[in-house]
Each structure stands twice: as C-alpha cells, then as structure tokens.
Amino acid sequence: MSSPLASTVIDSVLFRDSFGTQAMRELFSDRALVQRYINAEIALARAEARVGVIPDDAADTIACESRIERIDFDHMRRETEIVGYPILPLVHQLVAMCGDAGRYVHWGATTQDIMDTAVALQVRDALDLIDGDIRELRSILADLAVKHRDTAMAGRTHLQQALPITFGYKAAIWLAMFDRHQQRLAELRPRIALVEFAGAAGTLASLGDRGFDVQRAMAEELKLGVPATTWHVARDGFAEAVNFLALVTGTLGKIALDIMIMASTEFAEVYEPFVKGRGASSTMPQKRNPISSELMLAAAKAVRQHAGLMVDAMIHDFERATGPWHAEWIAIPESFILTAGALNQAKFALGGLTVDAKRMTQNLGISKGLIVAEAVMMGMAPFVGRQQAHDIVYEACRKVNEHGGTLAEALAAIPVVMQHFDRAAIDRLTDPANYLGLAPQMVDRAVELSRGIA
C-alpha cells in the first residue's frame, strides 16, 4: 500500500482512484518518465550509429546497459534539485553504466530534446488510453440513446419546462459530442507525437550535415513523427493536447450537471447506479448523492484551469524559455490523470444509469398540458389563423394558471375551439408524447453517424 503521506488527490491513498486511474497514473509516474528518458537516449544512440555518427558497438552497449533497474533515484533526485533538470543527473548515471561507450551517451543532444521527446511519448500513449475510454463511452451512450429513443420527458430551457423531448434525444446529443472528440483526437495525434532533437539552440549545429539524418532515424526508432522545425519554444502541440482534454472534460461536466439536476428529489428522473453505501451521508440515511457526477464536474473545472495554463505557457522567450516550460510539467500529467478519472466515472455512471421513465411522464404532466401550448397553437392555426390561434391558446393558458384545471379542459370550454375539434382531438393535441418533433429521428441519425466514425 502506498504511503498515506501523499498531499494531492492524484497520489492520495484516499482519493487517487476517484480522481484518476491506475493505468494513467502509472504512465505519468516518475519511473515511466525516466524510462522514456532512457528510451530517448537509446534511440538517439541507435540513430547516430545508423548514420555513422557514433560506433555501432557503442550504441549496442548503450542500449544494453542503460537499464532503469540500475538507476539510483535518490541520488538522481538530489542532483536534480541542484541542477534544476533531471537529464544531466540521468546522463551521469548512464555514462557510468556504459563504460567506454558512455562517452557517446547524449551525443549532440540538449536537455530539452530528451525531456520533450519523453513527454511526447507519454502523451502519445496517454492519448491511446483516452481513445479507448471515449470509444467505450460512445458505445454506452449509443445504447442509452437507442433504448430511450421514444422515452418522452420534459425538455428544459432556462431551467423551465419548454417542449417535450426524449431521453434518447438527450443521450444522442451527448454521443455526438464524444463522436467529435474521437475525431479531434485522431486529428491532433500527428501534431503532437513528434520527436524533439535539435541541439542547444535548435539548429542541430553540433552534428553538422548529419543532423537531419539523425533526427529522422531517432524518430523512426521511437515511432514518432519528424517536425518541420525545432519545437523547443513552439508549444502549440502540447497546449492543443491539454485543451482537447478540457473539451472532453467540459462535455463530461455538462453531462454531470444534467444528471445531478435530474437526480434531485424534485426531478427524480435518473439515478447513478446503486452500490451499497455509495453517495451515503454521515447524518442523513436517505441520501443517495450523485458521486460520479460530482467528480466529473470537479475534474472539468480543474482541467479547464490547466488548459489556460498551457496556453499561457506557450509564451516563451527567444530560443529557450525561462520558466513557462516548467508549467507544462504540472499541467500535462495532472490533466491526463484527471481526464482519465472523469471518463472512468462517466463509464460507471452512464453504464448503469437508472432511468425512471414513469417519473419523466409524471413530470411532463405537471404543467397540466401547458408544455405543449405551441403544439395546440400550430394545430389550430390552419383553421383559425396563426395569430388568432395564439390568442386563443394564450387565454386558455392564463385560465389554467389562474384557476387550475388542464389545458385540454380550458380549450374544451372555448366555443371556437369546439367548432373545429372534438374532445378526443383536443386530448391528442395536448398529449406531450405527440409533440416530440424529430427527436426520435435525430437519435436514429446520430447513432448511424456514430457507427461510421472509426
């Protein structure tokens, strides 16, 4: 068990699995990061050997002897605190491991080359995890949309009942957002998964005319792309990645807010899956709090802050920054871990969501038919004209608000209405389930389009 001395929710024994996932935490752990530093150094050595910059046997030795099991992390930490960066401390240990071949470790590279390449590898792998989570969530949302294609409920604008919709329509809107996120992820990958190898000021001067060859070979070793130019101070790629995560968690926050309001006692339309004790109160035994939604919303707010930090951190001075780069070290790992945690909570909450269709029907009826006043007006308009229909329905709605009863009853008491409609027709016009517009068909279209997204 981890030490109970962790001070953030990311590593906390108590909170880490509420705000993150083990897989994403492991990917951004110190061990995983240092392993990617080593991978970058090995790839550099192999690339330089391939193009004749260093001896083949030196590259073989570096690849064989540079093992993370041999790293003294305490010594590396102490030296990092002095140097300010972890690469020189790492290189010192790798050189010692590799004997005579150690002279070729880090040949022609600069600290940021190795660190940026390692983070590019982390982000590439982290996006794979996010990709998988989004695919699972899209499947869950598609199932919800299809299952509740025709489950009528009140649509709400400005927190007031507006017009009838279906719960499947609501789920289809959520699905379409994640379909777009899936597309965004695919589009941003090649802009982010790039090798960084350019030397001290980014000009590859230390390798003469072999620089591009080494850079290309190193990219091939690591299965990364080759950038058009050095990106030491061009941070739009990583900023885009974190802002993408802000979009994902923003969508999760919107879903969470809908669920939390719909799960309130007065609405009582949906509930997160029941797990004994989950969402319980220490003083109120009746409580069933929407815990997953609360965590999703919190993550959305935190990642949004990091998205802004990453945009601010794009402002670097000249060819090597004096500070903004360090902000990325905070924002990138936390954003990915929080996003993974929020997606995990969403899969749980939506995968087992309890939908109370009966309560949705009851809530549709609390306006006593007023929610479909537009439907009645449009139904009457061909017979009496649009404006007269509006005035008739307006008066009927006023009577319901002032004197009670239903819209159907108020309409049945108006002679001009009864000239054109019998009571059965009025009942049909004032039934919310008969005024869903194209909501069910939008579900069909959204699900079909989603199936076509790779």
Taking phi over 0 as left and psi of -120 to 50 as alpha, with beta for the rest, 429 belongs to: alpha
- The pLDDT tens digits of the residues spanning 3-30 come to 677 888 888 888 888 899 999 999 999 9
Count structural domains, the chain.
Answer: 1
What average pLDDT score do residues 212-230 get? 96
- The pLDDT tens digits of the residues spanning 406-421 come to 888 898 888 888 888 8
- For 195-257, give the DSSP string: -----TTSS-GGGGGGHHHHHHHHHHHHT-BPPSS--SS--HHHHHHHHHHHHHHHHHHHHHH
- The pLDDT tens digits of the residues spanning 370-408 come to 888 888 888 889 988 989 989 988 898 899 888 889 888
Who has greater pLDDT, 396 or 244?
A: 244
What average pLDDT score do residues 208-225 get? 95
Which helix (H) or strand (E) segment holds residue 153: the answer is strand 152-157
Q: Is the pLDDT of residue 443 over 50?
A: yes
Which pLDDT does position 285 carry in this prediction? 46
| Residue 386 domain flag | yes
Q: Is the pLDDT of residue 284 over 70?
A: no
Which pLDDT does position 32 carry in this prediction? 96
Partners of 156 in beta bridges: 161
- The pLDDT tens digits of the residues spanning 105-144 come to 999 999 999 999 999 999 999 999 999 999 999 999 999 9
The one-character DSSP state at 370 is: G
Active-site residue among 7, 158, 282, 403? Answer: 158
Which helix (H) or strand (E) segment holds residue 291: the answer is helix 291-312
Range of the domain at 382: 370-429
Which pLDDT does position 282 carry in this prediction? 45
pLDDT band at 311; cut points 50, 70, 90? very high
What average pLDDT score do residues 278-306 get? 78
| Residue 419 domain flag | yes
Give Cβ neighbours of residue 205 (< 8 Å, ≥ 6 apart): 199, 211
What average pLDDT score do residues 434-448 get? 95
Which pLDDT does position 383 carry in this prediction? 86
Verify whether residue 292 is a known catalytic residue. Answer: no
- The pLDDT tens digits of the residues spanning 142-164 come to 999 999 999 999 999 998 888 99
Give Cβ neighbours of residue 14 (< 8 Å, ≥ 6 apart): none
Active-site residue among 29, 75, 264, 281? Answer: 281
What average pLDDT score do residues 226-233 get? 94
Give Cβ neighbours of residue 194 (< 8 Å, ≥ 6 apart): 120, 219, 224, 225, 226, 227, 231, 237
The torsion angles phi and psi of 200, rounded to 5 degrees, stand at -50, -50
Which pLDDT does position 3 carry in this prediction? 63
Verify whether residue 12 is a known catalytic residue. Answer: no
Which pLDDT does position 280 carry in this prediction? 47
Alpha helices by DSSP H, 66-150:
73-83, 87-98, 111-147
The pTM of the full predicted model, rounded to 2 decimals, is 0.92
Contact between 20 and 340 (Cβ < 8 Å)? yes
| Residue 360 domain flag | no
Q: What is the 3-state secondary structure (H, E, C) of 380-437?
A: HHHHHCHHHHHHHHHHHHHHHHHHCCCHHHHHHCCHHHHCCCCHHHHHHHCCHHHCCC
Which pLDDT does position 2 carry in this prediction? 55
Which pLDDT does position 281 carry in this prediction? 47
pLDDT band at 278; cut points 50, 70, 90? low
Contact between 81 and 123 (Cβ < 8 Å)? no
What average pLDDT score do residues 40-52 get? 96
The C-alpha atoms of residue 236 and residue 111 are separated, in whole angstroms, by 20
CATH number of the domain where residue 419 is located: 1.10.40.30
| Residue 259 domain flag | no
Cα 314 to Cα 115, 120, 325, 373: the distances in Å are: 17, 16, 8, 52
| Residue 393 domain flag | yes
| Residue 381 domain flag | yes
The C-alpha atoms of residue 433 and residue 361 are separated, in whole angstroms, by 9
pLDDT band at 73; cut points 50, 70, 90? very high
Which pLDDT does position 277 carry in this prediction? 56
Q: How many CB atoms lie within 10 A of CB 1?
A: 4
Contact between 138 and 178 (Cβ < 8 Å)? yes
The C-alpha atoms of residue 158 and residue 188 are separated, in whole angstroms, by 35
| Residue 57 domain flag | no
Which pLDDT does position 414 carry in this prediction? 87
- The pLDDT tens digits of the residues spanning 163-173 come to 999 999 999 99
% helix / strand / coil in the chain, to the nearest 5? 65, 5, 30
| Residue 410 domain flag | yes
The C-alpha atoms of residue 343 and residue 73 are separated, in whole angstroms, by 32
